[in-house]
Structure formats: C-alpha cells, structure tokens
C-alpha cells in the first residue's frame, strides 16, 4: 500500500508526512509547490509525484527557470514562430506544448520575472498561451508542479512575486525540511550512499562507526542531502580502513564540529526523560536556562516535524503565536551557529 517512494530514502516524522501528502496528491491534477533549501530533494520528490500520477506514461518536462537567460526563457516555455526574433529561423514548440498530457516542472520559479509570472498565471487559469511571435492560441493539458528555495511569501511581501500566482501555485504546498532537522535520516541516508558507492567501486561496504555518526549528526549540512551524498562518495574512494572513523570524515566536518567526539543532540540526550533534580543539573554541569532551552528546542523540533515545517500549524500545536515561534527559531539558529 501507499506511495511508490521511487528512491526517496527517509523515515523521519517530517518525511513520513511528506509521503502521506504525496500519496494523496499524486493521483490528482492539483498544482503543487515544493519548497526547501538547496539539496533537500525537491527534484527527486517532483519526479516521484509524476511517477505516482496517472500521467506517468506521458512526458515529464523539467525547466530550470533560474538557469535560462532572460531573453530566451519565454520562447523556451511557450515556443516561437519563425521570424519571431533574429535567430528564429524556424518555428519551435515550447516546454508547455511538449508537456501536453504530462507534467511540467517549473524549477526555481522564484527566479521568473514579473512579466513571465503573468503568462504562467494565464496558463494555470486558462490552460492556454501563444507562441512568441504567434497569434494562434494553443490549448494544453498539463499538470504544473513548481519548486523554489526562496520564501515566496516574503517575495510577495517585497513585490517580487505576484500574489495571485503564489496562491495559484500554493494549492498543495510540500515543504522539505533541511537535513539538519531530520537527524533520524542523516545516518540512514549516509549509510545508504556508502552502500551504493562502495558497490559501484566494487569494494567491501564501509560502515559508519558510532563516533563518526555522532559527527555527522552534529554537522549542520548547509548543502543538505546533496552534500551528504558527495561526502560519502569521497569517503568511498579515500577511506583506507574497513570502517569509517571520525578521522576519515571530510575536513569541513571536522573543522566545524571540532576534533572531539560531539555530544549527542538534545533529543537523544533527553531520552528516558525524568524530572531533573538539582543533582542532575550539577552532574551534567548545566544551568536552569540551558536545561529549559533544551526542552524548548526539543518541543519546537517535534512540533515542526509533525507539521512538515508549516510554522502556522506548529505554533498552534505549541499554543504560541506564529511570530513568537519565528522569534524562537531565529534565536535558536543564531545560537547553533
């Protein structure tokens, strides 16, 4: 039962939530907006969405709105007629036409300028457009999925993104939390990539020692899953031992975490929770404030995971205002480096 995960690894509560939404939304034609930092697996997720949809036998057409020069992107999206511009020596279909019957993936949609945003809005609403330099209106049947690593609500507030388009896209939002917030998955994914790369290189599969695991959990993963994947490939080539110890990890991790084995994150440190006494605080050489912060951290984390990172809902679960939650998260991020 359930959704075909098509290679997406992860068992953390927030990822399970993502799979649950994926299962419900895949069979529909609803527009989906995937958000998340770079390298969190947005493209992988969108491909899974298409693979689980009734359009799976049809085209999946990705277009990276941030990677195509401004003056070419309109013709790339909508096609052009012969003579529409200097180098248009013959007419050509755009990505929307190619995607007819299937799914178009508008990656990095936050990079589109306002005039193109209007045109995208029209395709969403009317399912029609004209080629550049053309007069004939073309009708298409495409499912639109968009992704961005920007905060589009903020872009709207600053006048860089059309509010009406934002609401049209944001019918089903799916947020992929950064890897550092899914630490159940860090080890799972790390070991998975090691297995894959060691097999590729026909060497015996390397295991992560528990000390190396502690380093991986303590590192904040600014490049998310992509960074983890790259590091594991590097290790599969360079590691000379039969298992991965802290000294086999990339310098970047050791530099950030320090060379001593880090303490486990609060979540693990607090396992088997019992009301603390003064003796406990003294034994762990912690003050009241540190202890309270740790409890707060843990509850924030849990609430965010349960809501798939949707701050409104997390704040509601915690019984605090959204703005208070955001303040707390800011403080927490600053404290964590």
Ligand X SMILES: Nc1ncnc2c1ncn2[C@@H]1O[C@H](COP(=O)(O)OP(=O)(O)OP(=O)(O)O)[C@@H](O)[C@H]1O
Nearer to ligand X, 189 or 318 (CB): 189
Q: Looking at beta carbons, which residue is closest to ligand X? A: 41
Nearer to Mg ion, 43 or 293 (CB): 43
Structure token pair of residue 11 = 């068992």
| Closest approach of ligand X to the CB of residue 158, in Å | 21
Structure token pair of residue 309 = 């990172």
x/- letters, 186..225, toward ligand X (CB under 6 A): ---x-----------------------------------x
Residues 8, 9, 14, 20, CA torsion sign: positive
Q: Among residues 10, 13, 79, 309, which is the contact residue for ligand X, using CB under 6 A?
A: 10
Question: Could you tell me how many residues of this chain bind ligand X (CB under 6 A)?
Answer: 17
CA distances from 328 to 14, 39, 151, 312, 332 (A): 20, 25, 18, 14, 6
103 close to 55: Cβ distance less than 8 angstroms: yes
Nearer to ligand X, 216 or 315 (CB): 216
| Closest approach of ligand X to the CB of residue 227, in Å | 9
Q: Looking at beta carbons, which residue is closest to Mg ion? A: 43
**What burial letters (b/e) apply to 109-133, b meaning 16+ CB within 10 Å?**
bbbbeeebbebbbebbeeeebbbbe
x/- letters, 12..51, toward Mg ion (CB under 5 A): -------------------------------x--------
| Closest approach of Mg ion to the CB of residue 22, in Å | 17
187 close to 217: Cβ distance less than 8 angstroms: yes
75 near ligand X, judged by CB under 6 A: no
Nearer to Mg ion, 91 or 230 (CB): 230
Instruction: Name the binder of 227 from ligand X, Mg ion, none, CB < 5-8 A by kind.
Output: none
Structure token pair of residue 320 = 């605090």
DSSP string, 269-323: HTSS-----HHHHHHTT--HHHHHHHHHHHHHHHHHHHTTT-HHHHHHHHTS-HH
233 near ligand X, judged by CB under 6 A: no
CA distances from 330 to 216, 314, 325, 326 (A): 23, 15, 9, 6
x/- letters, 145..174, toward ligand X (CB under 6 A): ----x-------------------------
- Minimal CA–CA distance to 141: which of 94, 172, 98, 102? 102
Residues 16-45 that bind ligand X (CB under 6 A): 36, 38-44
**Which residues would be at the binding site for Mg ion (CB under 5 A)?**
43
Q: List residues near ligand X by CB under 6 A.
A: 7-10, 36, 38-44, 149, 189, 225-226, 229
């Amino acid at each position: 039962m359930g959704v075909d995960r098509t290679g997406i690894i992860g068992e953390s509560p927030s990822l399970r939530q993502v799979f649950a939404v994926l299962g419900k939304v895949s069979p529909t034609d609803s527009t989906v907006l995937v958000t998340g930092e770079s390298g969190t697996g947005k493209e992988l997720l969108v491909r899974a969405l298409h693979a689980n949809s009734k359009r799976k036998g049809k085209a999946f057409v990705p277009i990276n709105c941030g990677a195509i020069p401004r003056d070419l992107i309109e013709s790339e999206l909508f096609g052009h007629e012969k003579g529409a511009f200097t180098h248009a020596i013959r007419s050509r279909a755009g990505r929307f036409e190619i995607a007819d019957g299937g799914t178009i993936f508008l990656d990095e949609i936050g990079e589109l300028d306002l005039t193109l945003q209007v045109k995208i809005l029209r395709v969403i609403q009317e399912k029609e457009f004209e080629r550049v330099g053309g007069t004939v209106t073309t009708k298409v049947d495409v499912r639109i999925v968009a992704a961005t690593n920007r905060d589009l609500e903020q872009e709207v507030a600053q006048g860089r993104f059309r509010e009406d388009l934002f609401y049209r896209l944001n019918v089903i939002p799916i947020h992929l939390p950064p890897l550092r917030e899914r630490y159940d998955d860090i080890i799972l994914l790390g070991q998975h990539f090691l297995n894959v790369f060691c097999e590729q290189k026909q060497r015996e599969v390397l295991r992560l020692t528990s000390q190396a695991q502690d380093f991986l959990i303590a590192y904040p993963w600014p490049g998310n899953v992509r960074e983890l994947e790259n590091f594991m490939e590097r290790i599969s080539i360079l590691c000379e031992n039969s298992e991965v110890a802290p000294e086999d990890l990339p310098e970047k991790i050791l530099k950030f975490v320090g060379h001593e084995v880090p303490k486990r994150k609060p979540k693990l440190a607090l396992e088997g929770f019992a009301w603390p006494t003064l003796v406990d605080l003294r034994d762990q050489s912690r003050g009241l404030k540190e202890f309270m912060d740790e409890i707060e951290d843990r509850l924030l984390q849990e609430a965010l995971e349960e809501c798939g990172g949707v701050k409104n809902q997390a704040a509601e679960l915690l019984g605090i205002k959204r703005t208070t939650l955001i303040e707390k998260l800011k403080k927490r991020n600053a404290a964590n480096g």
